[in-house]
Every structure is written in C-alpha cells, then in structure tokens.
Amino acid sequence: MSRPHQRLMVFARTPERGRVKTRLAAELGDDATLSFHEACIREVTARHRQTSRSLVVYAAGDVEHPFWSTLSPAPETLEAQRGSTLGERLQAAFEHELKTYRDVVVLGTDSPHLPTSLVDRAFEALTEAPVVLGPAEDGGYYLLGLAGMCPPIFGIDTWGTDRVLSDTISALDRHSIRYHLLPTTFDVDWARDLVRLRLELQTQPEGPVERWFASQENLR
C-alpha cells in the first residue's frame, strides 16, 4: 500500500507565562508576550488546518495543558516533542511521520505571517529535491521539508545560533544531498519585528494575531 502524500507538522511551545519568547517578553512583558504566543499558535494552526493536507502539532512542554483543547479548528493530532535538543526533537518527529507520509514539512510559530501558498511551494519543491529549507533572516530556518528520508542534518551543534542554516547546508553538501531554498523571511523575536509583522498581515484575512494587535493599546 502506498503512503499518504503530505503531512504538515507545527512545532510549538506550550504557552506558559515567563517561559515563551523571552527576548520579546523583556520588551513587552510576560502577559502581552504570552497572549501573543497563543495568538501565533492559533494563527498558524487555523490557517494551515483549512487546507486539504494532514496537520499535526508537536508540543514542547505539557501536552495536557488546557490551551491545546481550545484550538479551533483542532489539529488532527497533538504529539509531545521528544529529545533534549531541537535537532533531536526534529529528527524524532520526522522519523515518526516519514513512516506514514511520503513528504513531511515542519513549521514553527515564530513566523505567523507565512501564507499557505508558501507551504504549497515547499511541497511542490519536494517533488524535485529531497530537502527544502526556508531561510530565516537570523540564520536559522522557518521551514524544513523532507521527502521520503531523514538526512544526516540534525547532529549539528549550533542550534539556537545564526549558523543553523549554513551548518545544515554544509551537512547536505557533504553528503551530496540536493536541496531547494524558499524565499527568506523573518522570525518575530523582538518588539521591532512586530512592525513588520503587522504590515505583512495587512494583505491577509484577519486572524488571531491581528486581533491581538487590536487588543494592545500601546501598539495601536
């Protein structure tokens, strides 16, 4: 029996005050940052749940947290991230999903402005190359897609630095694995990034993040 074609994973941290987006929290405060983080998760999951492809959320933290039951529309599956480093957690998730699905793409929630058309492009690229990467301006990546196999890219020791993308590409080059690069975009890590985010969202239907902006009097 052939495997189902496409699976989208969303990696997200369980919303807990003082434990999410700490750089942004240093500027906005814990409460505003927590509500923003929750809005980002809602934005990403709702937007991409409306497509025909299968969606699973991999949560870092308590998967029994009440927040997860409030997502609407709900993801098909909620799984716990497993591993001590981001690389280990990504590898475990990809290995699990690739047993069932041919093409698997993962997104985070730090770039809630990503349109579904960009994810469509990622899956289309996987018909030509076994790896697709979405470069982030900070040197990481906002998207990773794999087709049919899990390449040796998760053992790098630079997770959380501006070398993640370059070291990943170096690992792919060493093993002669072809890859496709999507357009570069930004993560929301600092208060200044919120200005760019709001501009990006103006071209999209109103969602949870835009409603969060409307609720923040100091950002109007």
Over pLDDT 90: what percentage of the chain?
89
Query: Is pTM beyond 0.75 here?
Result: yes
Rounded CA-CA distance 147/132 in Å is 9
For residue 48, which of 36, 60, 57, 39 has the smallest C-alpha distance? 57
Q: Is 117 exposed, middle or buried (0-12, 13-18, 19+ CB in 10 A)?
A: exposed
pLDDT at 219: 73
pLDDT at 117: 95
Whether the predicted pLDDT of 3 surpasses 80:
no
Q: Which pLDDT tens digit goes with each residue over 148-165?
A: 999 999 999 999 899 999
- Domain positions in the chain: 6-215
Whether the predicted pLDDT of 1 surpasses 70:
no
pLDDT at 38: 98
Angle at which helices 208-215 and 30-49 cross, to 10°: 160
SS3 of residue 138 by DSSP: coil
Beta strands in 61-164 (DSSP E): 77-80, 103-107, 131-135, 141-147
Residue 203 C-alpha from the chain's centroid: 20
For residue 162, which of 193, 187, 192, 127 has the smallest C-alpha distance? 187
Q: Which pLDDT tens digit goes with each residue over 5-28?
A: 999 999 999 999 999 999 999 999
Phi/psi of residue 182, nearest 5 degrees: -85, 170
CATH class of 6-215: alpha beta
Q: Supply the mean pLDDT for the chain.
A: 95
Q: Which pLDDT tens digit goes with each residue over 28-62?
A: 999 999 999 999 999 999 999 988 789 999 999 99
Least confident of 37-46, 129-138, 154-163, 166-175: 154-163
pLDDT at 124: 97
